[in-house]
Chain A
Amino acid sequence: GIQVEQSPPDLILQEGANSTLRCNFSDSVNNLQWFHQNPWGQLINLFYIPSGTKQNGRLSATTVATERYSLLYISSSQTTDSGVYFCAVDNDYKLSFGAGTTVTVRA
């Protein structure tokens, strides 16, 4: 399967700060998604973004498919942004997840 590496593994932010999460993958992909797993364990869809740039409120994402990476930007972070952020990719139905970035936003 495709290898997925996420960085950094942990991130501690002060409320209001901006941050960038990175996802590198080892092969070309048909699908790439970013998820937020909240403290209750629910997986929330953030972006479906196999290429290009998308924005949703304070969050935005960019995927450069030719260079095999994706970035998730969090601006003006809030305590509700805390949780684990996962990148997941596939090109053959076999979805591969990264190990995640654990984000803690302090008030």
Chain B
Amino acid sequence: NAGVTQTPKFQVLKTGQSMTLQCAQDMNHEYMSWYRQDPGMGLRLIHYSVGAGITDQGEVPNGYNVSRSTTEDFPLRLLSAAPSQTSVYFCASRVSNTGELFFGEGSRLTVL
């Protein structure tokens, strides 16, 4: 049972480049979400989805896009990367509006 899988684990970008962080879960969870973690801080919610075709903004959505075409996948897109987006990104999922949240292993992104 893979759980929540994120790719890539490490990425270096130049300012202005675009990229997509992939997230997939095999637990048939309706709720999926993306967070960023900056040094010395807790995680902050970027975007979340309560089901296929439904997404909404979290605390820090600017500069990021998401879509949810299937239950399993929830990619996070950076259209024009900025140094302020250097961070560790975590994807997470759970069954619905209640229940235990499961995290992926994280993706470390550096924007030069």
A69 adjacent to chain B (CB < 8 Å): no
**Known A-B contacts A30-B97, A100-B42; A43 and B33 likewise in contact (beta carbons under 8 Å):** no
Q: Is the CB of A42 within 8 A of B106?
A: yes
Q: Is the CB of A99 within 8 A of B42?
A: yes
- Of all chain A residues, the one with the shortest Cβ separation from B98 is A30
Q: Is the CB of A1 within 8 A of B105?
A: no
Q: Is the CB of A41 within 8 A of B88?
A: yes
Q: Is the CB of A41 within 8 A of B44?
A: no
Q: Is the CB of A95 within 8 A of B101?
A: yes
- B1 CB to closest chain A CB (Å) equals 14
How many inter-chain contacts with C-beta < 8 Å in the A-B complex? 60
Q: Is the CB of B45 within 8 A of A95?
A: yes
**Known A-B contacts A97-B44, A98-B42; A1 and B99 likewise in contact (beta carbons under 8 Å):** no
- B34 CB to closest chain A CB (Å) equals 11
**Known A-B contacts A30-B98, A94-B48; A86 and B106 likewise in contact (beta carbons under 8 Å):** no
- Which of chain A's residues have a CB closer than 8 A to the CB of B44? 97
- A88 CB to closest chain B CB (Å) equals 7
- Cβ 8 A contact of A95, one of B33, B88, B102: B33
* Size bracket, chain B contacts: 20 to 34
Interface residues of A in 62-107 (CB under 8 A from B): 86, 88, 93-100
- Which of chain A's residues have a CB closer than 8 A to the CB of B56? 93
- Of all chain A residues, the one with the shortest Cβ separation from B43 is A97
- Which of chain B's residues have a CB closer than 8 A to the CB of A42? 103, 105-106
- Bound CA–CA A4/B44 (angstroms): 12
- Cβ 8 A contact of B58, one of A33, A86, A94: A94
- Of all chain A residues, the one with the shortest Cβ separation from B44 is A97
- Bound CA–CA A103/B102 (angstroms): 22
- Which of chain A's residues have a CB closer than 8 A to the CB of B41? 99
- Bound CA–CA A98/B45 (angstroms): 12
B residues in contact (CB < 8 Å) with A: 31, 33, 35, 40-45, 48, 50, 56, 58-59, 88, 90, 92, 97-103, 105-106
A residues in contact (CB < 8 Å) with B: 1, 4, 30-31, 33, 35, 41-43, 45, 48, 50, 86, 88, 93-100
